[in-house]
Amino acid sequence: MKKIGVLTSGGDSQGMNAAIYATVKCGLQKGLEVYGIYNGYQGLIDGKVELLTVQSVENIAHRGGTVLGTARCPAMFTPQGQKKAIATLQKFGIEGLVVIGGDGSFNGAKVLSTKYGVNTVGIPGTIDNDLAYTDFTLGFDSATATVINAVKGLRDTMYCNERSFVVEVMGRHCGDIALYASIACGAEVVLLPEVELDLDKVVSTLKHNAKVGKHDNIILVSEGVRINGEYLSGKVADIIRDSILERMPKINIRSVVLGHLQRGGDATIQDTLLGIRMGEHAVKCLISDKTNRVIGIKNNKIFDEDIVEALAKTRQFDAKLYAFSKSLVKY
Ligand code: ADP
Ligand code: F6P
């Protein structure tokens, strides 16, 4: 293999730049030409491709976002779009493709490899941590750290005002950001997509806490919780705040949606190192003709696995961790 390409796709996440950095650096060290494909599959379809150099990736490893740009690309779902993507790979002579993204992007890579024989390797880049085959995805640690910092800030003002806050965090249908952050910041209530929403329980916790003199509660809610069976990202915090107010009209309570702040800012050291380790491993796979793989981490060991098998796995909810989170905040 002489020429490889790298793209980032779907929602950006911290650690993507680290993975690009390592793919380029390690690829060049192994004598490969490394092409950057801009704006995910859209750039692959449109031929937005550029040869990358060491200078292209200088000082990017720690930065949030992705220097290659990203996109959600509906055309990639169609055979016409997919054929254009293949034509671009052929035009530039790209023999191996590193796809950095979430499960959607991996499904795109799976199509390219199983239907068209493209040599692909996937690196999990998404703050959601929603891929079953790996312990962690790039960006999860950084996004969770942002949530913890935001809650620390809120706590200062909440305490002196005896005020509670409903804080909505991202994660799509996976509650890991909310769950891990709840443990680290001692959220009094945590609401996850994996656990049925029970507002009566929330209210009884808040009433109990008020009785023992605790009026500054964090109700950390993952955007993926279903309200009347509906996914209502961006509105969940307000709806929950209003439902609590209906049942406890005197409570001092506000809501905040942390939104895309969670995808911004530098990557944590953990995400930076993870991105670099995964990028290096992806290049190793390609040069040893080990393709149609995805890279993961288990027990702090980087590994690769068949893309079809990895995507077929179902995520197991960590009920023990959830119980532990709740046990820490009993008053
Ligand atoms: P993420 O990768 O963060 O999960 P998306 O689910 O939006 O983000 O997927 C990113 C892109 O991957 C899509 O916009 C599309 O271009 C491509 N993709 C997703 N699923 C498929 C599929 N089944 N076939 C082909 N391409 C897909
Ligand atoms: O998949 C990452 C993610 O940030 C989710 O947590 C969130 O639901 C979604 O992307 C937001 O997507 P967009 O940036 O397209 O609004």
State the DSSP string of 8-19. Answer: E-SS--TTHHHH
What is the signed CA dihedral for 170, 174, 176, 181, rounded to 10 degrees? Answer: 30
Q: What is the DSSP letter of 288?
A: T
**Nearest CA, atom 26, ligand 1:** 108
Instruction: Report if pTM > 0.85.
Output: yes
Sequence-distant (6+) residues with CB within 8 A of 97 are 4, 5, 6, 7, 89, 109, 112, 118, 119, 120, 121
Ligand 2 centroid – CA 213 distance (Å)? 37
In contact, 221 and 168? CB cutoff 8 Å? yes
Cα–Cα distance, 128 to 139 (Å, whole number): 8
128 CB near ligand 2 (under 6 Å)? yes
Cα–Cα distance, 121 to 106 (Å, whole number): 9
**What pLDDT tens digit does each residue of the chain (331 aa) get?**
999 999 999 999 999 999 999 999 999 999 999 999 999 999 999 999 999 999 999 999 999 999 999 999 999 999 999 999 999 999 999 999 999 999 999 999 999 999 999 999 999 999 999 999 999 999 999 999 999 999 999 999 999 999 999 999 999 999 999 999 999 999 999 999 999 999 999 999 999 999 999 999 999 999 999 998 999 999 999 999 999 999 999 999 999 999 999 999 999 999 999 999 999 999 999 999 999 999 999 999 999 999 999 999 999 999 999 999 999 998 7
CA 252 to chain CA mean position, Å: 33
HEC-encoded secondary structure of 86-113 = HHHHHHHCCCEEEEEECHHHHHHHHHHH
**Lookup: tokens for 17:** 């730049």
Looking at all shown ligands, the one closest to residue 72's CA atom is: 1
Which residue from 12, 63, 73 is spatially nearest to 260, judged by alpha carbons?
12
126 CB near ligand 2 (under 6 Å)? yes
Q: Tell me whether residue 103 is one of the annotated catalytic residues.
A: no
**Lookup: tokens for 186:** 């001692």
**Lookup: tokens for 105:** 């992007």
**Nearest CA, atom 13, ligand 2:** 11
- Catalytic residue chosen out of the listed positions 12, 46, 103, 128: 128
- Amino acid sitting at position 328: L
Biggest CA pair distance of the chain: 70
In contact, 143 and 13? CB cutoff 8 Å? yes
**Lookup: tokens for 271:** 């995400």
Looking at all shown ligands, the one closest to residue 71's CA atom is: 1
**Lookup: tokens for 301:** 């060991």
